[in-house]
Amino acid sequence: MKYNILFLLLFVWNLQSQNLTDEAALTQKMEFTFNEYLGYVKKFHPLVKTANLEINKAQANLMAARGAFDPKIEVDFDKKQFKGKEYYSILNSSFKIPTWYGIEIKAGFDQNEGYYLNPENTVPNPGLTSFGISVPIGQGLFINQRMADLRKAKMQLQLSQAERKLQAVAILYDASVAYFNWKKNHEEFQMYTQYNTNATIRFKAVQSLIKQGDKRAIDSIEAGISLKSRQLSLENSRLKLLKAKLELSNFLWMDNSIPMELTDSLFPELQIENTIQETLKTNDLLAQDFTIDNHPKINALETKIDMLEVERKLKANSLLPKIDLSYSYLSEPQYIDNYKFDNYKIGVNFLYPIFLRKERGGIKLAEYKIQETTNNLNLERLQLSNKIKAQKEVISSLNKQHLMAKDLVGNYKTMLQSEERLFTFGESSLFLINSRESSLITAQLTAIALRNEFYISNSELYKILANPD
């Protein structure tokens, strides 16, 4: 009996020493919080930066669309000289200002001369100035291609902002899962380390008691089986932790796209369940109803419908006849201040397809695309609402399951401690202790897994909400 008591004291002393050692080692390490980790990912991850480039590309596209309204200077000079004779010298220059409603203002200067000059190009010796306007009164007056391109470019900027959020939140979700996986494997490794230490102490104590004749030799095999089993689990856990750390390092970057590697001096946040919902901004949603009107997916589909509506209006405008009227006032440079409205040039351009099959087909296609996107929008609204409701229930259920799992762990610990106490009085065996300990390990693994699912479920809700900012 005295050896059993000695074994118990030795076991408790070593366990306390191990706990003190673990606490001392923990104080030398740094806690890498989940909020701090997400901050690195948001700021430096290459794919998050790439998502931000979508807005830059949309802004560049908007600038290009606005270029269709830039004033233009055109100069056309043509001259022919042969055998000392100037056949012709033709200079046509113009300055054009496009306006929003398809109207174009134009100023020009022509100076032509030559022995074989075409009579229609004949102008006064000082040259001929013109100032006029071109107006479409059919197609292109209220909407034309450059107006449609500019409107869609502005909408594309809104679309890019929504798509940036969706791309960024997908990356942050993957990064969050990697962090939770690291925490899960870290906790399992810590647990197996502790039980490996316990198994080692028991094995040594049993061998000592066998030498003294207080235990049977078969007890050494029982303790050795338990030790090898714990060593195997510890090694497997160490490998999983290593892989989880490397996976997490994929999301850690510094400025100038320099990758970072997770060091052994960092450990995951201990009380993350108290901060995760605040970090992911899901706490307000769980406390009240959430509106999906500002959801990036909804905004993206609504913007696509607006862009398709612009395209439909452009197609509908093609049903009108194309009638372009132009008027230019003509004057010699020295008489430009003396208005003589009998000097002018006018033009009329008329075009109208008879059957309009191309135009009517284009309108039908545009309407079908709008209907298709509208159907997708209605479906997305319903799916998002149901996903949010379902995820809230999942989070609530996992929280309850985790509390129950914690109670089970506490009960299994009590059973193990009771079995160890009976062992000290010779009323139990190593087999029963190992059995109780295996049940406790299973319960702790279940609790860790449920806690990890709780973290991931919050991250999934964060992904559904798609609000990375």
Once rounded to an integer, what is the mean pLDDT over residues 100-110?
90
Tokens standing for residue 255: 């400025």
Taking only the tens place, the pLDDT of each residue in 317-360 is 989 999 999 999 888 887 666 666 778 889 999 999 888 898 89
CB of 114 closer than 8 Å to CB of 88: yes
Mind listing the domains of the chain with CATH numbers? Answer: 2-64+147-306+369-465 (1.20.1600.10)
State whether residue 280 is helix, strand or coil: coil
Taking only the tens place, the pLDDT of each residue in 237-259 is 999 999 999 999 999 888 777 88
Report whether pLDDT(71) > 80. yes
Tokens standing for residue 44: 């430096």
Report whether pLDDT(3) > 50. no
Tokens standing for residue 238: 């160490």
Residues whose CB is less than 8 angstroms from the CB of residue 389 and which lie 6 or more positions away in sequence, other chains included: none
CB of 262 closer than 8 Å to CB of 183: no
Mean residue pLDDT of the chain comes to 86
At residue 369, the pLDDT reads 94
* 345 φ/ψ angles, rounded to the nearest 5 degrees: -140, 130
pTM exceeds 0.85 for this model: no
At residue 214, the pLDDT reads 67
Once rounded to an integer, what is the mean pLDDT over residues 154-168?
90
Cα distances from 27 to residues 2, 16, 20, 75, 265, in angstroms, run 37, 17, 11, 78, 10
At residue 339, the pLDDT reads 65
Report whether pLDDT(5) > 90. no
Report whether pLDDT(15) > 50. no
Taking only the tens place, the pLDDT of each residue in 308-318 is 999 999 999 98
CA 141/CA 145 separation, integer angstroms: 11
Q: What 8-state DSSP symbol labels residue 325?
A: E
Strand bridging mode 266-268 / 258-259: unpaired
pLDDT classification of 6: cutoffs 50, 70, 90: very low
Burial of 163 (0-12, 13-18, 19+ CB in 10 A): buried
At residue 279, the pLDDT reads 87
Once rounded to an integer, what is the mean pLDDT over residues 381-387?
92
pLDDT classification of 287: cutoffs 50, 70, 90: low
At residue 47, the pLDDT reads 86
Once rounded to an integer, what is the mean pLDDT over residues 262-284?
86
Strand bridging mode 266-268 / 30-32: parallel
Of residues 184, 75, 176, 172, the one with CA closest to residue 450: 184
At residue 211, the pLDDT reads 80
